[in-house]
Amino acid sequence: MPGPPCGSLLDYKTAKFSLTRNRRVGLLHRLLQLGALGYLLGWVLLLRKGYQERDTAPRVALVTKVKGAAVAEAAGRRLWDAADLTWPPQGENVLFLVTHFIATIQQAQGTCPESPSVLDGMCTEDADCPMGNPVVHGNGIKTGKCLMFNATHSTCEIYGWCPVENSTLPRCNTLQTTDPSYFKSCTYDPVFNPSCPVFRVRDMVEAAGESFGDLALLGGSIRVLIEWNCDLDHPATQCQPQYSFSLQDMRYNFRTASYYWGSQQQLYRNLLKLYGIRFDLSVHGQAGKFSIVPTAVSFATSIAFFGAATVVCDLVLLYLDAKADLYWKEKFEEARPPKGKPEATA
């Protein structure tokens, strides 16, 4: 009598290994195994670094600062420094909490010695201070004179807001350097000085494909993208940002006003329509570091591909090969238990 209809559910199937001397299928098997090995070594480990745990949205903090000065002769000689050239951004969700300040009181436009903390302002003679040149990262325009700032330092006389700021806060940056004057003298260059975070405005505009003179007339908007992809298995000095610049808009302006009271208690204001260049900065990147969990997952995935190579070759033998019937008989065999001996009769 046939067994119960659900009896096959209790059957157990075990693998049977058969040596098949089929060169085409054997070559296919080896090629699939080499492909799985190449995927593991080339793609998973070398290119994708599958042994690392990655943070694709690292927390970043971005700080910007404007330095420099310029002189305009349109309506009388007028000096513009960083305090005049920059204004609070319009329409941004920004909260600024003042925690420290440096006061330089009663500044007026005139001439005075540059601060000794500005490297380009140091001098030993008048020839070190060519007239009309702006002090790099400084506070004004050189007048051509070298003056004694104090008993130990001589600096160039400048035309600017005097007296200059009387102290500075310490500078910090992710770049590890033992040169204390590095950030006071360097300028960013994508080839020769890619680690310097100090940019000339003209260089940024030209990198975006525009002329500074054209953009300065009616204003504009430039996007600055900072890509920071870090392999934390390597030294921190190899983790450097990549900068790119693109033009977003050819016009940018806004209005602001300053109010004051006249002698007759009449309220007045000065209305300014300001044209300028808006820099929109954004940071993207990811960081990766060796971790045992993604390493185990990557190896397990590759081992599964090795097993898949065997499955593919079995399918070729059993369904596509001309001798598929023979392979079916050799691969699948039903193991039956031996029948019991007949009972003795009287």
Answer yes or no: is 112 within a domain. yes
Answer yes or no: is 3 within a domain. no
Name the 3-class secondary structure at 209. Answer: coil
Residue 243 contacts residue 188 (beta carbons within 8 Å): yes
Same domain, 160 and 79: yes
pLDDT of residue 173: 38
pLDDT of residue 38: 81
The answer to whether the predicted template modeling score (pTM) of the entire model surpasses 0.95 is no
* Nearest-angstrom CA–CA distance, 116 and 242: 32
Answer yes or no: is 319 within a domain. yes
Answer yes or no: is 346 within a domain. no
Residue 103 contacts residue 109 (beta carbons within 8 Å): no
Residue 288 contacts residue 298 (beta carbons within 8 Å): no
Measured in whole angstroms, the distance separating CA 217 from the mean position of its chain's CA atoms is 31
Answer yes or no: is 47 within a domain. yes
The string of pLDDT tens digits covering residues 195-221 is 788 888 889 999 999 988 888 888 888
- Sheet strand arrangement including 52-55: 52-55, 277-290, 220-231, 242-249
Residue 102 contacts residue 123 (beta carbons within 8 Å): no
Q: Can you name the residues that pair with 205 across neighbouring β-strands? A: none
* Nearest-angstrom CA–CA distance, 25 and 327: 12
Same domain, 200 and 274: yes
Same domain, 61 and 198: yes
pLDDT of residue 129: 95
Same domain, 227 and 310: no
Same domain, 208 and 61: yes
Which of 135, 166, 197 delimits the end of a domain? 166
Structural domain for 153, as ranges: 68-86+99-166
Same domain, 258 and 192: yes
Supply 218's token pair: 């009616």
Same domain, 61 and 200: yes
pLDDT of residue 75: 54
pLDDT of residue 18: 67
pLDDT of residue 229: 83
Write the DSSP string, 136-175.
TTSSEEEEEEEEE-SSS-EEEEEEEEESPPS--PPP--SS
The total number of structural domains that make up the chain: 3
Same domain, 264 and 121: no
pLDDT of residue 45: 76
- What ranges in 188-235 are assigned the alpha helix state H? 201-207, 212-218
CATH of the domain at 325: 1.10.287
pLDDT of residue 113: 94
Q: Can you name the residues that pair with 80 across neighbouring β-strands? A: 70
Answer yes or no: is 161 within a domain. yes
Answer yes or no: is 338 within a domain. no
CATH of the domain at 218: 2.60.490.10
Same domain, 310 and 276: no
Same domain, 147 and 220: no
Same domain, 283 and 221: yes
Same domain, 146 and 197: no
Answer yes or no: is 78 within a domain. yes
Per-residue pLDDT of the chain (346 residues; tens, 9 = 90+): 455 555 567 676 666 666 677 777 778 878 888 888 887 777 777 777 777 777 666 666 666 777 778 776 655 677 877 777 766 655 554 445 455 556 777 788 899 999 888 889 999 999 999 999 999 888 899 999 999 988 888 999 999 988 887 655 445 434 566 666 776 778 888 888 877 888 888 899 999 999 888 888 888 888 889 888 888 888 777 778 888 999 988 888 877 777 788 888 877 777 777 888 888 888 888 888 888 888 888 888 878 877 788 788 777 777 777 776 766 666 666 666 666 555 554 4
